[in-house]
């Protein structure tokens, strides 16, 4: 199993954990989470992360001096795609309540943290292989 596939599976597991947590919170306090909005966000973040890991997998096969450019491209791609999702979520779907904004940023920070940890681990393994 390749590293990219493992990362996408881990992202799916994280998304599933967030979905289960959302269901539990919705059952505990029905008005706290809008289920349609949270499903949209979870699926959007999953596909953004999957595309980011695919781009990093493509960069992994490139020469060592170009690999860091792909790492920066992954972070830039994720930022642009998340900005588009935020635009759709807040302006088109009109999810502007405080609970929706907090949900968006919690998911954004969680997925961004996972991406950064994965990229740092990949860079560390890359540098160890070169030495």
Mean pLDDT of 31-54: 92
At 38, the pLDDT band (50, 70, 90 cuts) reads very high
pLDDT value of residue 122: 85
Mark 12-31 as b/e (b = at least 16 C-beta within 10 Å): eebbeebbeebeeeeeeeee
Please answer whether residues 46 and 115 qualify as being in contact, where contact means their C-beta atoms are separated by less than 8 angstroms: no
Distance CA 118, CA 123 (A): 9
Q: What is the rounded average pLDDT for all residues in the chain?
A: 91
Please answer whether residues 33 and 25 qualify as being in contact, where contact means their C-beta atoms are separated by less than 8 angstroms: yes
Q: Is 70 exceeded by the pLDDT of residue 131? A: no
Which tokens is 66 given? 């170009």
| HSE-up (13 A, CA, CB side) for residue 87 | 6
The set of residues, in sequence order, having a beta carbon less than 8 Å from that of 7 and lying 6+ positions away, is: 53, 118
Q: Is 90 exceeded by the pLDDT of residue 78? A: yes
The structure's pTM equals: 0.90
DSSP 33: -
Q: What is the pLDDT of residues 45-60, one digit of tens each?
A: 999 999 999 999 998 8
**Number of CB atoms found within 10 A of residue 49's CB:** 25
DSSP 2: -
Q: What is the CA radius of gyration of the chain?
A: 16
């Amino acid at each position: 199993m390749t590293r990219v596939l493992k990362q996408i599976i881990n992202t799916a597991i994280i998304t599933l954990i967030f979905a289960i947590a959302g269901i539990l919170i919705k059952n505990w306090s029905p008005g706290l989470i809008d289920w349609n909005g949270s499903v949209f966000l979870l699926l959007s973040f999953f596909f953004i992360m999957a595309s980011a890991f695919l781009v990093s997998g493509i960069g992994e096969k490139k020469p060592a001096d170009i690999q860091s450019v792909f790492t920066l491209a992954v972070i830039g791609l994720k930022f642009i795609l998340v900005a588009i999702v935020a635009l759709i979520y807040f302006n088109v779907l009109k999810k502007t309540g405080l609970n929706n904004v907090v949900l968006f940023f919690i998911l954004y920070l969680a997925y961004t943290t996972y991406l950064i940890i994965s990229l740092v681990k990949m860079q560390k393994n890359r540098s160890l292989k070169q030495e």
